[in-house]
Structure 1
Amino acid sequence: MENTTPSSVLTEADLKEKVVQAIKTVYDPEIPVDVYELGLIYEIKIFPVNNVYVLMTLTSPSCPSAESIPVDIEKAIREIEGVAEVSVELTFDPPYSQDMMSEVAKLELGFM
């Protein structure tokens, strides 16, 4: 029997996985790797009634995409059925470093 549970009753873990998948559709326009694999996402929290909070950074405070990347992430998360509110907060503490990249990103960019 197929699972027909409505998305409004997604478990926190299921919703968090959907949020990660949505974030992985967002790319830094100058780097051919999604922002999640780049290590730009510091924290994802799911609060009651499917409110999503994302704490993120950018590769540099002067990143030319500083305006668009957080907006693109918020848009991608809002498209998930059942999500109520989305809050994306930008921080530069700790500062971004290439060590934050996943192995996938390092391979893609030739760092390994």
Structure 2
Amino acid sequence: MAKNINIKTGDTVKVIAGKDKGATGKVLSVLREDDRVVVEGVNQVKKHVKAMAQGQESGIVTVEAPIHVSNVMLVEGDGVTRIGFKKVEGTKKRADGSTYTVERSVRISRKTGEEI
């Protein structure tokens, strides 16, 4: 069973360990079953591709490979921060027009306490 990953697609993260330490980039995809993320411009590898369809070229291309989620931290302002959660109350509308309160969980910055 995969762990809970607090990083989402579209977040800006900084690599804190590995060969690309210090690099920042946008998260392109999250692989929950493997606890890995694909970050734009980080952990680039050469891949040999074969022309499968007519008109498509074969050769060697550079693509981003996944890195473990423990090697990245969310960027907030000038530095990095850990991610926490808190419950926030809100209101929703029913089809008949009446309202009711709901509790939802939101991501917060451990550094500033603000909602991400």
Give the TM-score taking structure 2 as reference length. Answer: 0.26
Please identify which structure carries the higher strand content.
Answer: 2
Q: Say which one has the larger Rg.
A: 2
Greater relative contact order (CA < 8 Å, ≥ 6 in sequence): 1
Give the TM-score taking structure 1 as reference length. Answer: 0.26
